[in-house]
């Protein structure tokens, strides 16, 4: 049912339509009126004609009612003959394949889409990271989800919003006494409310009769005091609130926004917002906690895609500034809708134009910090449509809707303890940010979870789990690599100061001084930790192109002299080979093992563990500068 508020237009009346052909006239008329169920029935009657146009229209009809299984079937037929040159067809085909869990096939269609529309933001993002899904599946879980018991068993429910006073408002097509909307053969939408009790249970929903009309009504947003409601409805309420579609002999209406106020416990004083426009749809309101800004979805001019998120300043009683598009930080060439702004200025919204699990996914962006939009991940998002997320900071709980069960149902989203690790890579001497620095985050077993490249501000942010320790590895050209611990914490934000020393710091008069280059017991192969340390030597030699290095490998006194000599020789050779593999000329580095013959601490057979550790070492002598 939410597709009404993504397609964002309505049709009334009409007897004739401009058709692709006489045979498809009836089906086209239904399609142009957004009567997709009836359109599909009519196109099916023509499906044995081997007509790519009919196949595509069938696919689009099923796409618009989110029947992903049938949409995939007909998109496959529509594209099989190679006559379709509409990039968006391949994008939608990929979305439906993802909704069916067929990700490899979806990637193939995305590759076709990207080749046909290389400048599209969605294509650019895909080409940059086509195999993003494993990473997305493994990101830290932000919420647990639970199906609400007030959902209707047959008809759709969505748009749940909880007020501080404990009232849950939502939109539903459950009222079977209402007339049926021909776009999906469900009753028209109404606004409902239920009481959210202290124990988390919900009362039996009741309609908000003062606001509901004979048209579609909802979703809603309420001011912090609960006394002003913004809600979506149809422009047919307004005199001349429609355009006449001469081609289809029909009236074309739009989604409009309305405002109502509460007096003596009753809603009234319903007014249309003045920036509604019968040329465009304006829906899905979300008012900020301070009541000064209204966010909404619209297909108005100046957008990036089919449907964008906008905002407008609230300057008085139903007076407003000029609507502003939120730009590419939020919007794409796809569809963005269902905004919700939290008390701490986080904007949640649904999009099918970003990297997700399929169809609509829910994303969040911290407007206060100017961060990038982030997919909220599993289990809130799924291969199906997930949308209409709201979050009440006072009660620390969220709600959203999804059609993962076949119809639009509402879910509660309970926050999972999580930590945001913010890494700032800086020059240790000047304090300036190091652009294009490389940052990896490792788990407790030193497995690399993810590696990213910092922007001009030197900042990287990771969402990590509570009560788990992590390690940050930071490196940059011309700087000494280093590691930084991230301690266990119960939640919140952890700031990691990853200050790196310029590489000249480790270049001393006669040697390049590194931390211990660790080897596994009785082994000579280079470990990940050892490689990280040796990379500092590589950077030093790149910064000093005339430098020649002699690697001296030493062991402790445990084991026989012969054994220790052989082991140290193998380790010296491995070290030299690693440095050469990083682009350093063979003539600039050599190595020799010295076994236990040159102890740093001459303690003989009476060495402590600490002294043994001091004697196990690699030295990097500068032969020539």
What's the whole-number mean pLDDT along residues 241-257? 70
Highest mean pLDDT among 43-57, 116-130, 388-402, 489-503: 388-402
Residue 152 has pLDDT above 60, yes or no: yes
- 493-514: average pLDDT: 90
Is a pLDDT exceeding 70 seen at residue 18? no
The Cα-based distances of 281 to 272, 411, 520, 596 in angstroms read: 13, 27, 65, 80
Q: Predicted confidence band at 241 (pLDDT cuts at 50, 70, 90)?
A: low
> Which strands, in side-by-side order, build the sheet including 617-624?
589-593, 548-554, 617-624
Query: In the chain, which segments carry CATH 2.120.10.30?
Result: 154-355
**Could you tell me the fold of the domain covering 419-503?**
Immunoglobulin-like (2.60.40)
Architecture of the CATH domain 154-355: 6 Propeller (2.120)
Q: What is the mean pLDDT of residues 106-127?
A: 92
Q: For residue 341, what are its two tokens?
A: 């702004």
CB burial of residue 434 (10 Å; 0-12, 13-18, 19+): buried
Reported as a pLDDT band with limits 50, 70 and 90, residue 7 is: very low
DSSP states of 378-399: TTT--SS-EEEEEEETTTTEEE
Q: Is the pLDDT of residue 542 over 50?
A: yes
Architecture of domain 506-624: 2-Layer Sandwich (3.30)
All CATH 2.60.40.1120 domain ranges of the chain, comma separated, are: 419-503
d(CA 392, CA 400): 12
Give yes or no for residue 19 having a pLDDT over 90.
Answer: no
Q: Are 494 and 447 in contact (CB under 8 A)?
A: no
Q: What is the pLDDT of residue 274?
A: 96
Residue 449 in tokens: 């979870």
Residue ranges, comma separated, of all CATH 1.25.40.10 domains in the chain are 4-130
What percentage of the chain has pLDDT greater than the value 70? 94
CATH number of 4-130: 1.25.40.10
pLDDT band at 17 (very low <50, low <70, confident <90, very high): very low
* Mean pLDDT, residues 473-494: 89
Q: What is the pLDDT of residues 442-451, one digit of tens each?
A: 999 888 999 9
């Amino acid at each position: 049912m939410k597709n009404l508020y993504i397609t964002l237009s309505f049709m009334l009346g009409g007897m004739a339509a401009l058709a692709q052909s006489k045979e498809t006239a009836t089906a086209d008329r239904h399609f142009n009126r957004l009567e997709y169920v009836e359109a599909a029935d009519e196109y099916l009657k023509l499906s044995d004609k081997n007509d790519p146009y009919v196949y595509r229209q069938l696919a689009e009809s099923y796409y618009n009612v989110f029947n992903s299984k049938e949409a995939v079937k007909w998109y496959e037929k529509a594209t099989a003959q190679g006559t379709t040159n509409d990039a968006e067809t391949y994008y939608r085909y990929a979305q439906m394949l993802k909704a069916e869990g067929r990700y490899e096939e979806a990637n193939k269609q995305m590759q076709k889409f990207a080749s046909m529309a290389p400048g599209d933001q969605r294509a650019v993002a895909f080409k940059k990271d086509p195999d993003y899904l494993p990473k997305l599946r493994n990101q830290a879980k932000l919420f647990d989800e639970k199906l609400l018991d007030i959902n209707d068993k047959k008809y759709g429910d969505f748009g749940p919003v909880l007020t501080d006073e404990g009232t849950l408002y939502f939109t539903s097509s459950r009222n079977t006494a209402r007339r049926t909307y021909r776009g999906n053969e469900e009753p028209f939408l109404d606004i409902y409310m239920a009481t959210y009790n202290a124990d988390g249970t919900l009362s039996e929903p009741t309609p908000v009769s003062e606001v509901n009309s004979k048209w579609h009504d909802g979703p809603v947003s309420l001011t912090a005091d609960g006394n002003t409601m913004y809600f979506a409805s149809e422009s047919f309420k307004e005199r001349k609130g429609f355009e006449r579609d001469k081609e289809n002999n029909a009236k074309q209406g739009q989604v409009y926004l309305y405002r109502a106020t509460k007096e003596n416990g009753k809603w009234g004083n319903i007014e249309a917002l003045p920036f509604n426009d019968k040329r465009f749809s304006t829906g899905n309101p979300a008012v900020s906690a301070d009541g000064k800004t209204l966010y909404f979805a619209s297909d108005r001019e100046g957008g990036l895609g089919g449907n964008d998120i906008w905002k407008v300043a609230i300057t008085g009683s139903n007076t407003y500034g000029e609507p502003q598009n939120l730009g590419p930080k939020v919007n794409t060439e796809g569809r963005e809708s269902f905004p919700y702004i939290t008390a701490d200025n986080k904007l949640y919204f649904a999009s099918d134009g970003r990297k997700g699990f399929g169809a609509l996914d829910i994303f969040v962006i911290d407007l206060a910090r100017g961060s990038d939009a982030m997919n909220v991940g599993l289990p809130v998002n799924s291969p199906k449509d997930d949308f209409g997320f709201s979050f009440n900071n006072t009660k620390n709980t969220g709600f959203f809707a999804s059609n993962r069960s076949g119809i639009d149902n509402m879910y509660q989203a309970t926050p999972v303890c999580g930590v945001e690790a913010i890494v700032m890579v800086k020059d240790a001497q000047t304090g300036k940010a190091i652009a294009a620095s490389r940052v990896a985050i490792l788990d407790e077993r030193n497995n690399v979870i993810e590696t990213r490249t910092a922007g001009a501000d030197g900042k990287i942010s990771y969402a990590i789990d509570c009560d788990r320790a992590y390690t940050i590895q930071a490196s940059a050209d011309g700087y000494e690599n280093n590691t930084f611990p991230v301690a266990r914490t119960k939640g919140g934000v952890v700031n990691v100061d990853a200050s790196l020393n310029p590489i000249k710091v480790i270049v001393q008069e006669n040697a390049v001084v590194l931390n211990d280059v660790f080897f596994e017991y009785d082994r000579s192969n280079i470990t990940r930790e050892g490689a990280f340390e040796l990379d500092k030597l590589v950077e030093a030699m790149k910064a000093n192109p005339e430098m020649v290095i002699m690697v001296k490998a030493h062991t402790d006194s445990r084991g026989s002299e012969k054994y220790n000599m052989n082991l140290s020789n193998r380790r010296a050779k491995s070290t030299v080979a690693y440095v050469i593999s990083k682009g350093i000329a063979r003539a600039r580095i050599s190595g020799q093992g010295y076994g236990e013959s040159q102890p740093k601490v001459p303690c003989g057979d009476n060495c402590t563990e600490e002294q043994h550790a001091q004697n196990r070492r690699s030295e990097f002598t500068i032969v020539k500068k």
